[in-house]
Chain A
Amino acid sequence: MNTAARTFSLLTWLLLAGCGQSNSGTTPTSNSSPAALSKVPVGIAVAQTSNVALLGQEEVAGAKIAERYFNQRGGINGTPIKLVFQDTGGDEAGTINAFQTLITKNKVVGIVGPTLSQQAFAADPVAERAKVPVLGPSNTAKGIPQIGEYVARVSAPISVVAPNAVEAALKINSKIKRVAVFYAQNDAFSKSETEIFQQTVKQRGLELVTVQKFQTTDTDFQTQATNGINAKPDLVIISGLAADGGNLVRQLRELGYKGQIIGGNGLNTSNIFPVCKTLCDRILIAQAYSPEYKSKINTAFRSAYRDQYKKEPPQFSAQTFAAVQVFVEALQQVNQKTKINELPLAELRAKLNQQLLTGKYNTPLGEISFTPEGEVVQKAFYVAQIKMDADGSNGKFVFLK
Chain B
Amino acid sequence: MADFFSTYGFLLVSMLLGAMLGLSLYLPLMAGQLSLASPGFYALGGYTAAILSTKVFQMSGSLFPLPLLVVEMLVAGVVCGILGLMVGIPALRLRGIYLAIATIAFVEVLRVLSLNLEITGGAVGIFGIPQPFQTPIEYLWIVLPLLLLSAWFVYRLERIRVGRAFTAIREDELAADAMGINPTYHKVLAFTLGAILAGVVGAVSAHFLNTWNARQGTFDASIIYLTFVLIGGSRTWAGPVLGGVAFTALPEVLRAIADTSGLPLWLGQFLRDGRLIIFGLLIVAGTIFFPQGLVTPALLRRKRQPFSK
Main secondary structure of the interface of B (DSSP, over half): helix
Question: Does B185 count as interface, using CB distance less than 8 angstroms?
Answer: no
**Does A14 lie within 8 Å of B253, measured CB to CB?**
yes
The interface size of chain B toward A, counting residues with CB under 8 Å, comes to 53
> Does B216 contact A92, Cβ atoms closer than 8 Å?
yes
User: 26 A-B pairs, CB-CB below 8 angstroms?
Assistant: A2-B299, A4-B296, A8-B295, A17-B257, A18-B256, A19-B256, A22-B3, A48-B273, A91-B215, A92-B209, A92-B215, A96-B10, A97-B10, A100-B136, A103-B6, A105-B259, A117-B124, A118-B124, A121-B127, A122-B209, A122-B211, A126-B136, A143-B127, A185-B116, A191-B124, A192-B124
Contact B295 A105 (CB under 8 A): no
Query: In the complex, which residue of chain B has the Cβ closest to the Cβ of A184?
Result: B123
Chain A interface main SS type: helix
* Contact assessment for B116 and A100 in the assembled complex, using a CB-CB cutoff below 8 Å: no
Q: What residues of chain B have their CB less than 8 Å away from a CB belonging to chain A?
A: 3-4, 6-11, 14, 112, 115-116, 122-125, 127-128, 131, 134-136, 209-211, 213-216, 242, 246, 249, 251-257, 259-261, 272-273, 275-276, 289-290, 294-296, 299, 302
A118 to B213, Cβ gap below 8 A? yes
Q: With CB as the reference atom, state the residue of chain A lying closest to B221.
A: A91
A residues 115-139 with Cβ under 8 Å of B?
117-118, 121-123, 125-126, 129
10 shortest interchain CB distances as A-B pairs: A18-B253, A188-B123, A121-B127, A121-B211, A24-B259, A25-B261, A104-B7, A18-B256, A191-B123, A21-B256
Interface size classification for chain A = 35 or more
Contact B123 A185 (CB under 8 A): yes
- Do B116 and A19 touch (CB < 8 A)? no
Report if A86 contacts B (CB, 8 A).
yes
Asked if A143 contacts B10 (CB within 8 A), the reply is: no
B211 touches A15 (CB 8 A): no
Closest approach, in angstroms, between the C-beta of A184 and any C-beta of chain B?
Answer: 9
B128–A147 CB distance below 8 A:
yes
CB distance from A63 to the nearest CB of B (A): 15
Asked if A93 lies at the interface with its beta carbon under 8 angstroms from chain B, I say: yes
Asked if residues A7 and B294 are in contact (CB atoms below 8 Å), the reply is yes
**Measured between C-beta atoms, what is the minimum distance from A91 to chain B in Å?**
7
Given pairs A92-B211, A143-B127, A186-B123, 6 additional interface contacts (CB within 8 A): A2-B302, A19-B256, A21-B259, A93-B209, A118-B213, A188-B124
Among A4, A25, A87, A91, the residue within 8 A (CB) of B273 is: A87
Q: Are A4 and B294 in contact (CB under 8 A)?
A: yes
Residues on A with beta carbons closer than 8 Å to the beta carbon of B259: 21, 24, 101, 105
